[in-house]
Chains A and B, each alone.
Chain A
Amino acid sequence: MQREHRSEHFYAHSLIGRLFRKLHLDIPLLFFLGLICLLSFVILFSASNQDFGTLERQFARVTLAFGLMTVLAHVTPYQLKRYSVGLYSFGILLLVAVLVMGKISLGAQRWLDLGFFRFQPSEMIKISTPMMLSWYLAEHPFPLNWKQLVTAFVLIFTPTLLIAKQPDLGTAILVASSGCAVLFFAGLSWRFISYAAVTVTALLPLLWSVMHDYQRARVLTFFNPEADPMGRGYHIIQSKIAIGSGGIYGKGWLGSTQAKLDYLPESSTDFIFAVFAEEFGLAGCLGLMTLYLLVIFRCLYITLGANDPYSRLLAGSLSFAFFVYVFVNIGMVIGVLPVVGVPLPLVSYGGTSMVTLLASFGILMSIQTHKKFIP
């Protein structure tokens, strides 16, 4: 174990290596994340019509997020496990509070105004749900009895439904998938998975009936965007124009006309991938996706190396959640998935998702760098 650990960290004895170990940071992961964030500044400058103010604000958020990541990397998985139940319960409480306040103010409500800053509980629950599930399944190893299985699903779908009710379909999907990922990594039987898949397919019409009108419209638009080119289909059509017109090598940095001339809405936030594809082409997209793949595989590698059930389940779940994040956003921007409000992780303008994401990477780094403390 010890030798493995040493050979893995071949840089462990260098000066930088020692420094990073002190900081509990994982160098490969940090390197990939740093590259993506760098690319984010590059494309954000273009997508915001060369607005330095946007860059400054984003830089402040990234700094804050990396700070939080470093802090979380110091929290041992053992401590994390202890906080799991409390964080989860607190998160659910906040979600209910948001919902009640939304009822009062008659409209979509995702924020909790704490006076000095606005807090989005659904972001916190993105991490606390997998933590809670990992805690529960680490305490009750497989095979689970029915009661335990039902408890697990209740733990997943309570926050999911509360978020879907806000309504924030994108986040709900992310929370549900990260929760289910825990079950999957814990060893949910393939048979059960296939049963569940069949059941979910059968329940799709039911889901349709409880969806909001605007959510249904998005799904319909996804199947036929050209039916309403100036209305609901506009978004996805303009996005495809931006991507397609980029070609193989793109129009070059700052060369996006779709974003610069406002044809592409939300070009700095949810649809920033389209701007990236327009300016850097297929080549650039392949590069960016490779970076994402490297991050995902590094995370899965950390999962494999984790040495207690809680860490393994949490690491696996967070890795998978990151992948879902990437896939849902790119899929929606290039028109293979319906438009749900999910930003491109680490690249889209906006602080909340950046903070949550880097927090989860902080946890992953902690799992990777605290292995020796686990007996």
Chain B
Amino acid sequence: MSSTHKIRDRITESRILLNRVTAISMLVVVCIFGLVVRLMYLQIVGHEHYALLAKNNRIKTSSIPPTRGIIYDRQGRILAQNLPSYSLEIIPEQAKDIEDTLHRLQVLLDLTDDVLDEFRKQQKRHKRFESVPLLLSLSDEEVARFAVARPFFPGVDIHAILVRYYPYGILTSHVVGYVGRINEKELKELPEAEYSGVFHIGKVGIELSYETQLHGKAGYTEVETNAQGRSINVLNRVEPIAGENLYLTLDMDLQKTAYDSLEGYNGALVAIEIKTGGVLAFASHPSFDPNPFVNGISSKAYKALQDSEDQPMFNRALRGLYPPGSTVKPFVGLAGLEYNIITNDQHIYCPGYFQLPNVRHRFRDWAKWGHGSTNLTSALTESCDVYFYSLALNLGIDRMHDFLQKFGFGEKTGIDLVGEKEGLFPSQKWKRTAKKVGWAAGDTVITGIGQGFTQASPTQLARATATLANRGKVVTPHLVDKMINAFSTSPGPLQSGKLIPLQEKNLNAVIAGMVNVIHGEKGTAKGLAKGLKYQMAGKTGTAQVYTVKQNEHYNKSIDLKLRDHALFISFAPADDPKIAVAVVVENGGHGGTTAAPMAAKVINQYLTGEKPDATGTPQ
């Protein structure tokens, strides 16, 4: 009994065991299969995704900043260069107590709070193990002072860097512009790879408008990095491509003459090489030294510049808008001829004032007693206002607008600088939309002598003059002649080459009038003719800042700031024009006496090579 019981038990037991081992085997197989499915999902389906993640994990790309291109004038003189300098940089991770470090550095190097605040701002944009500049240009003394104390400043170090320098200082600040520290807003917009490790960016002038070319192309290294961020080894290195060197059309000798001639006044002078459109001189007076801006100008110095009444930071040549005054007369006269409103032989009588039919208001001529009988040539020579009042009325505002627009009035010249103003040459349509009032005949009359709504920048005036001298072939002013890098040379902006259809005899008549302005008996700038070896053509302008009331006379003792702006446009030689110049002198009084001699100095120097004074060297 007990023996069979035992046997049955053993049979049952082995049956149960077999049953349980089978169950466990199945569980094992199912679970392992589950793991295999998951592995296949990760290693086959997800492989690409995870391979990319692994690569991103281990490879960190860091850029190598390129060297910024150098800017030269047309004779190869350096206008902007990179000077080796020493920067003081801090790696926050290594400087244990950053505030304490900053405080001690402030005492050691006599730093202003501005510098520290700027550093704190910069620090926020960098990772803790990245080097953040505190000072970008250390003096020798500062280098020496820090070098001695260096052991007490962990994480602070001196680095050799290149810093932008403008050897001509105030002479070029409105043309070349300057670079400055990259600010928060710029940082957001800039491509990160291109600008990491770069502290400066073009802020104004050529430095801004040619930023891409000057900057060059950043190189990079691909570094294998471990989880702690340490570099293990360099996998790949692509060298940066230095920025392109820019050769400007600017001639520093002319630029200095232009700037110096404006001495004592606020004003601008723009000189253009007619055949190419290359800008020879581009002066805005007064100016400022761009060098302090490179590494961050102190807020005190900046405020002083901003608050100065003469506004040295305002680029008058590019952005200053002035009523062009009588300098529009050659263009209005040419319009009259082209539209067959007048011929050069027709004379009108100038009594010293002009009246619209049935209106009592008198539009006065600058010459109280009038010019008598005048034709176009003499009207230009003597700058007779009445002749152009009458002509403007006969032309009508819209024809005048359309014709002068062809010479670039009221539109940007397309010069390769940022921030150009459009200016304004009014039309009926413009007044209706902008002023919500209809056009009045009186508006037309004063527009004929460049007063009223009309506004133009010195650059626009120079361009219009050059286009006229170029016999209708439109000139687009530009500053960059060519760009040269290690591999190629490329030209600056190209000429549009558009041609305004003009009749030869009409052009000749206007130019004859403009020649007489200088060479004629009654020319408004006849003082210039003395000793000239060539013929110059020009037109003076005197723009009212202050409206003289009816029955009132212009008073010489009027407040300086309310005195007329003096303008002068000219080109030479008259028979084979090479250079066109426009000058605007704020509150300069009469164009012929103040502005014209400035233009003449530049033109003469360009054509004869004689400098007005012996020194033309950089300051």
Q: What residues of chain A have their CB less than 8 Å away from a CB belonging to chain B? A: 141-142, 181, 184-187, 238, 240-248, 257-258, 261-263, 277, 281-282, 285-286, 289, 292-293, 296-297, 300, 303-304, 309, 312, 316, 319-320, 323, 327, 330-331, 334-336
Determine if B17 and A282 form an interchain contact, defined as CB atoms under 8 angstroms apart.
no
- Give Cα A257–Cα B227 distance, bound, in whole angstroms: 10
Q: How far is the CB of B43 from chain A (nearest CB, A)?
A: 4
A–B complex contacts, Cβ < 8 Å, 25 sampled? A141-B9, A185-B20, A187-B20, A241-B57, A244-B47, A244-B53, A244-B54, A245-B50, A245-B53, A247-B47, A248-B47, A261-B226, A262-B227, A263-B54, A277-B43, A285-B36, A285-B39, A286-B36, A297-B28, A312-B17, A316-B17, A323-B28, A334-B35, A334-B38, A334-B39
- Give Cα A164–Cα B215 distance, bound, in whole angstroms: 64
Query: Please, which residues of chain A bring their CB within 8 A of the CB of B232?
Result: 261
Determine if A336 and B47 form an interchain contact, defined as CB atoms under 8 angstroms apart.
no
Query: Please, which residues of chain B bring their CB within 8 A of the CB of A331?
Result: 35
Query: Please, which residues of chain A bring their CB within 8 A of the CB of B24?
Result: 181, 184-185, 300, 316, 319-320, 323
Given contacts A247-B44, A257-B54, A261-B225, contact A336 B38 (CB under 8 A): yes
Which of B24, B31, B49 counts the most A-chain CB atoms under 10 A from its CB? Answer: B24
Given contacts A187-B16, A262-B226, A263-B57, contact A244 B21 (CB under 8 A): no
B12-41 interface bits toward A, Cβ cutoff 8 Å, 1 = contact, 0 = none: 010011101100110010011011101110
- For A336, the closest partner residue in chain B by CB is B38
- Give Cα A224–Cα B351 distance, bound, in whole angstroms: 95
Given contacts A263-B58, A293-B32, contact A241 B40 (CB under 8 A): no
- Give Cα A335–Cα B36 distance, bound, in whole angstroms: 12
- For A290, the closest partner residue in chain B by CB is B32
Determine if B42 and A240 form an interchain contact, defined as CB atoms under 8 angstroms apart.
yes
Q: How far is the CB of B45 from chain A (nearest CB, A)?
A: 9
Q: Does B46 contact A (CB under 8 A)?
A: yes
Determine if B54 and A241 form an interchain contact, defined as CB atoms under 8 angstroms apart.
yes
- Give Cα A258–Cα B16 distance, bound, in whole angstroms: 48
Q: Which of A257, A282, A292 has a CB less than 8 Å from the CB of B43?
A: A282
Query: Please, which residues of chain B bring their CB within 8 A of the CB of A247?
Result: 43-44, 47, 51
Given contacts A185-B20, A261-B227, contact A282 B54 (CB under 8 A): no
Determine if A309 and B50 form an interchain contact, defined as CB atoms under 8 angstroms apart.
no
Determine if B36 and A303 form an interchain contact, defined as CB atoms under 8 angstroms apart.
no
Given contacts A184-B20, A244-B50, A304-B21, contact A281 B58 (CB under 8 A): no
Determine if B43 and A244 form an interchain contact, defined as CB atoms under 8 angstroms apart.
yes
How many residues from B make CB contacts under 8 Å with A?
A: 37
Determine if B39 and A257 form an interchain contact, defined as CB atoms under 8 angstroms apart.
no
Q: Which of B31, B34, B49, B57 has a CB less than 8 Å from the CB of A261?
A: B57
Q: Which of B51, B226, B228 has a CB less than 8 Å from the CB of A244?
A: B51
Determine if A289 and B35 form an interchain contact, defined as CB atoms under 8 angstroms apart.
yes
Given contacts A241-B50, A244-B46, contact A336 B57 (CB under 8 A): no
Q: Count the A-B residue pairs with Cβ separation under 8 angstroms: how many?
A: 129
Within 8 A of A (CB), among B575-602: none
Determine if A243 and B39 form an interchain contact, defined as CB atoms under 8 angstroms apart.
yes
B361-378 interface bits toward A, Cβ cutoff 8 Å, 1 = contact, 0 = none: 000000000000000000
Q: How far is the CB of A219 from chain B (nearest CB, A)?
A: 18
- Give Cα A241–Cα B46 distance, bound, in whole angstroms: 9
- Give Cα A286–Cα B40 distance, bound, in whole angstroms: 10
Determine if A185 and B17 form an interchain contact, defined as CB atoms under 8 angstroms apart.
yes
- For A320, the closest partner residue in chain B by CB is B24
Q: How far is the CB of A223 from chain B (nearest CB, A)?
A: 15
- Give Cα A319–Cα B17 distance, bound, in whole angstroms: 14
**Additional A-B contact list (7), CB under 8 Å, known A244-B53, A248-B43, A258-B54:** A185-B24, A245-B50, A286-B39, A297-B25, A334-B39, A335-B38, A335-B42
Query: Please, which residues of chain B bring their CB within 8 A of the CB of A336?
Result: 34-35, 38
Query: Please, which residues of chain A bring their CB within 8 A of the CB of B34?
Result: 336
Q: Does B207 contact A (CB under 8 A)?
A: no
Given contacts A258-B57, A304-B17, A327-B31, contact A282 B44 (CB under 8 A): yes
- Give Cα A79–Cα B196 distance, bound, in whole angstroms: 74
Q: Does B224 contact A (CB under 8 A)?
A: yes
Determine if B16 and A244 form an interchain contact, defined as CB atoms under 8 angstroms apart.
no
Given contacts A141-B9, A257-B54, contact A243 B28 (CB under 8 A): no
Determine if B227 and A243 form an interchain contact, defined as CB atoms under 8 angstroms apart.
no
- For B226, the closest partner residue in chain A by CB is A261
Determine if B25 and A300 form an interchain contact, defined as CB atoms under 8 angstroms apart.
yes
- For A187, the closest partner residue in chain B by CB is B16
- Give Cα A331–Cα B228 distance, bound, in whole angstroms: 28
Query: Please, which residues of chain B bring their CB within 8 A of the CB of A327?
Result: 31-32, 35
Q: How far is the CB of A226 from chain B (nearest CB, A)?
A: 12
Q: How far is the CB of B231 from chain A (nearest CB, A)?
A: 11
Determine if A261 and B39 form an interchain contact, defined as CB atoms under 8 angstroms apart.
no
- For A261, the closest partner residue in chain B by CB is B226
Which of B16, B32, B43, B224 counts the most A-chain CB atoms under 10 A from its CB? Answer: B43
Given contacts A243-B43, A300-B25, A304-B21, contact A257 B50 (CB under 8 A): no
- Give Cα A245–Cα B58 distance, bound, in whole angstroms: 12
Given contacts A258-B54, A300-B25, contact A277 B32 (CB under 8 A): no
Q: How far is the CB of B165 from chain A (nearest CB, A)?
A: 43
Query: Please, which residues of chain A bring their CB within 8 A of the CB of B57?
Result: 238, 241, 257-258, 261, 263
- For A185, the closest partner residue in chain B by CB is B20
Q: How far is the CB of B228 from chain A (nearest CB, A)?
A: 7
Query: Please, which residues of chain B bring their CB within 8 A of the CB of A258?
Result: 54, 57-58
Q: How far is the CB of A197 from chain B (nearest CB, A)?
A: 13
- Give Cα A243–Cα B350 distance, bound, in whole angstroms: 97
Q: How far is the CB of A18 from chain B (nearest CB, A)?
A: 30
Determine if A244 and B17 form an interchain contact, defined as CB atoms under 8 angstroms apart.
no
- Give Cα A286–Cα B42 distance, bound, in whole angstroms: 14
Determine if A316 and B228 form an interchain contact, defined as CB atoms under 8 angstroms apart.
no
Query: Please, which residues of chain B bring their CB within 8 A of the CB of A330?
Result: 35
- For A246, the closest partner residue in chain B by CB is B43
Determine if A248 and B50 form an interchain contact, defined as CB atoms under 8 angstroms apart.
no
Within 8 A of A (CB), among B72-95: none
Determine if B44 and A248 form an interchain contact, defined as CB atoms under 8 angstroms apart.
yes
Query: Please, which residues of chain A bring their CB within 8 A of the CB of B227?
Result: 261-263
- Give Cα A336–Cα B49 distance, bound, in whole angstroms: 19
Determine if A303 and B21 form an interchain contact, defined as CB atoms under 8 angstroms apart.
yes
- Give Cα A60–Cα B50 distance, bound, in whole angstroms: 36
- For A244, the closest partner residue in chain B by CB is B50
Which of B21, B224, B228 counts the most A-chain CB atoms under 10 A from its CB? Answer: B21
Which of B36, B50, B227 counts the most A-chain CB atoms under 10 A from its CB? Answer: B50
- For A243, the closest partner residue in chain B by CB is B42
Query: Please, which residues of chain B bring their CB within 8 A of the CB of A281?
Result: 43
Which of A244, A309, A316 counts the most B-chain CB atoms under 10 A from its CB? Answer: A244
- Give Cα A258–Cα B43 distance, bound, in whole angstroms: 15
Q: How far is the CB of A51 from chain B (nearest CB, A)?
A: 16
Q: How far is the CB of B17 from chain A (nearest CB, A)?
A: 6
Which of A142, A257, A289 counts the most B-chain CB atoms under 10 A from its CB? Answer: A257
Determine if B53 and A241 form an interchain contact, defined as CB atoms under 8 angstroms apart.
yes
- Give Cα A304–Cα B13 distance, bound, in whole angstroms: 11
Determine if A282 and B39 form an interchain contact, defined as CB atoms under 8 angstroms apart.
yes
- Give Cα A88–Cα B177 distance, bound, in whole angstroms: 88
Which of B18, B47, B58 counts the most A-chain CB atoms under 10 A from its CB? Answer: B47
- Give Cα A238–Cα B225 distance, bound, in whole angstroms: 15
Query: Please, which residues of chain B bring their CB within 8 A of the CB of A245?
Result: 47, 50-51, 53-55
Query: Please, which residues of chain B bring their CB within 8 A of the CB of A289?
Result: 32, 35-36
- Give Cα A241–Cα B55 distance, bound, in whole angstroms: 10
Top 9 nearest A-B pairs (CB, nearest first) are A244-B50, A245-B54, A262-B227, A261-B226, A187-B16, A282-B43, A247-B47, A245-B51, A244-B42
